[in-house]
Amino acid sequence: MLTPRQLGVLVLLTLMWGINWPMMKFSLRELTPLYFRAVTMSGGALALLTFFVWRGVDMRLPWREAGRVAWLALPNIVGWHFFSILGLQELASGRAAILGFTMPVWTVLIGALLAHEKLHARVYVSIVAAVAAVGLLSAQELAALAGRPVGVLWMQLAAVSWAVGTLLMRRTRTTLPTEAVTVWMMLMGAAFFWLVAPLAEPAPAWRFSAAMWASLAYGVFLNYGYAQIIWFSLARELPPSASAFSIMAVPVVGTIGATLIVGERPGWADAAAIVCVSVAIASALLPRRG
- The pLDDT tens digits for 13-30 are 889 999 999 999 999 999
Domain boundaries, the chain: 4-285
C-alpha to C-alpha distance for 16 and 249, rounded to whole angstroms: 11
- Per mean pLDDT, which range of 91-100, 122-131, 251-260 is the poorest? 122-131
- The pLDDT tens digits for 262-290 are 999 989 899 999 999 889 888 876 766 65
C-alpha to C-alpha distance for 85 and 191, rounded to whole angstroms: 16
C-alpha to C-alpha distance for 134 and 257, rounded to whole angstroms: 21
What pLDDT score does 153 carry? 94
3-state secondary structure of 120: coil
CB 92 within 8 A of CB 239: no
How many CB atoms sit inside 10 A of residue 61's CB? 16
More confident: 124 or 256: 256
Task: Kindly write down the DSSP assignment for every residue of 125-181, as one continuous string.
Answer: HHHHHHHHHHHHHHHHHHHSTT--HHHHHHHHHHHHHHHHHHHHHHH---SS-HHHH
Residue 243 has pLDDT above 80, yes or no: no
What pLDDT score does 146 carry? 58
What pLDDT score does 271 carry? 92
CB 137 within 8 A of CB 288: no
Greatest Cα pair distance in the chain = 59
How sure is the predictor about 229, in pLDDT bands with cuts at 50, 70 and 90? Answer: confident
User: Residues near 98 by Cβ (< 8 Å), separated by ≥ 6?
Assistant: 133, 137, 251, 254, 255, 270, 273, 274, 277
3-state secondary structure of 114: helix
Handedness of CA 172, 174, 179, 182 (dihedral sign): negative
What pLDDT score does 68 carry? 95
How sure is the predictor about 120, in pLDDT bands with cuts at 50, 70 and 90? Answer: confident
The rounded percent of the chain whose pLDDT value lies above 90 is: 61
CB 170 within 8 A of CB 216: no
More confident: 18 or 140: 18
What pLDDT score does 124 carry? 84
Q: How far is CA 131 from CA 97, 172, 181, 232, 258, in A?
A: 15, 29, 33, 31, 24
What pLDDT score does 40 carry? 97
Q: How far is CA 209 from CA 26, 61, 152, 215, 229, in A?
A: 11, 38, 30, 10, 28
Residue 237 has pLDDT above 80, yes or no: no
- The pLDDT tens digits for 38-90 are 999 999 999 999 999 999 999 999 999 999 999 999 999 999 999 999 999 99
C-alpha to C-alpha distance for 11 and 77, rounded to whole angstroms: 24
More confident: 150 or 244: 150
- Per mean pLDDT, which range of 145-159, 204-218, 262-276 is the poorest? 145-159
Residue 213 has pLDDT above 60, yes or no: yes
How sure is the predictor about 184, in pLDDT bands with cuts at 50, 70 and 90? Answer: very high
- The pLDDT tens digits for 84-116 are 999 999 999 999 999 998 988 888 888 888 877
Q: What is the mean pLDDT of the chain?
A: 89
pTM: 0.90
C-alpha to C-alpha distance for 199 and 6, rounded to whole angstroms: 44
φ/ψ of 131, rounded to 5, equals -65, -40
User: Residues near 156 by Cβ (< 8 Å), separated by ≥ 6?
Assistant: 99, 102, 134
Residues composing the chain: 290
